[in-house]
């Protein structure tokens, strides 16, 4: 019996999200390969996870990405802005013929991934899963589970309440880079959010109770629009 390959390259491993991904992979019995641009930060992270390989790589150096992915079953891209990093890492995954996942919340980056890489992924026999994180994948999974056997929905409304939120340096850099207008689903198709973004009241469970919310659609709108028929889909 062939032993399954449980090695996964984590690109951007030393970032805020990357550290969580590495820890979770280790806890679940997988073997992460630590990768990213900064060799010094990889070495620092390696002290917390002794024995894991460290493979510095840059999106400007295709050969370094190939080395980072060599021998892995998949790559998880945790390095934003994904408008810049997604394409080079996906291209490396295609060359290696391994699966690609990321934690992207940027709508335009996810649109670009679908439009540019859907057919190459099919041809290579790999899976490309963008936006598989709290901002993106979670809301998609919850909405899909709620639909059950239904094939479409009149409306999907997603509201998120956070007791606190502190944007990381990476989040701030992404905000500066991501100048694209946000999209929702309206009349069954992707449409730009009106300006100013709409607000409304939403009744959350305790301890949040009723709060005023504002439309901030992220990547779950794009992923849902690819597989769920809905007249309206918005996130606040």
What is residue 138's predicted lDDT score, i.e. its pLDDT? 95
Q: At what angle do helices 82-96 and 169-177 cross, to 10 degrees?
A: 100
pTM of the model: 0.94
How far is residue 178's CA from residue 109's CA, in Å, rounded to a whole number? 9
| Average pLDDT for the chain | 95
Residue-wise pLDDT for 17-33, tens only, equals: 999 999 999 999 999 99
How many residues does the structure list for the chain?
236
Residue-wise pLDDT for 163-200, tens only, equals: 988 888 888 888 889 899 999 999 999 999 988 988 99
Which helix (H) or strand (E) segment holds residue 111: the answer is: helix 107-124
Q: For the residues 213-232, what does the mean pLDDT come to?
A: 94
Residue-wise pLDDT for 96-107, tens only, equals: 999 999 999 999
What is residue 236's predicted lDDT score, i.e. its pLDDT? 87
With a CB cutoff of 8 Å and minimum separation 6, the contacts of 196 are: none
Q: Are 89 and 11 in contact (CB under 8 A)?
A: yes
How far is residue 44's CA from residue 184's CA, in Å, rounded to a whole number? 41
């Amino acid at each position: 019996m062939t032993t399954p390959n449980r090695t996964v390259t984590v690109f951007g491993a030393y970032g805020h999200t990357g550290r969580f991904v590495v820890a979770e992979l280790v806890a679940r019995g997988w073997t992460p390969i630590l990768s990213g641009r900064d060799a010094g930060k990889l070495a620092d992270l390696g002290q917390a996870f002794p024995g894991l390989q460290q493979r510095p790589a840059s999106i400007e150096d295709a050969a370094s990405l190939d080395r980072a992915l060599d021998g892995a079953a998949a790559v998880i891209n945790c390095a934003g802005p994904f408008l810049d990093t997604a394409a080079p890492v996906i291209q490396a995954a295609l060359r290696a013929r391994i699966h690609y996942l990321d934690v992207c919340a940027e709508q335009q980056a996810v649109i670009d991934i679908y439009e540019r890489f859907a057919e190459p992924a099919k041809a290579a026999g790999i899976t490309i899963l963008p936006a598989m994180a709290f901002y993106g994948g979670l809301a998609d999974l919850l909405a899909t589970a709620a639909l059950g056997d239904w094939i479409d929905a009149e409306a999907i409304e997603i509201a998120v309440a956070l007791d606190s939120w502190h944007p990381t340096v990476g989040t701030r850099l992404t905000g500066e880079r991501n100048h694209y207008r946000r999209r929702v689903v309206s009349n069954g198709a992707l449409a730009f959010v009106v300006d100013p973004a709409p607000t409304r009241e939403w009744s959350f469970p305790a301890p949040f109770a009723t709060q005023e919310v504002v439309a901030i659609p992220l990547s779950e709108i794009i992923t849902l629009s690819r597989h769920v028929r809905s007249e309206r889909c918005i996130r606040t």
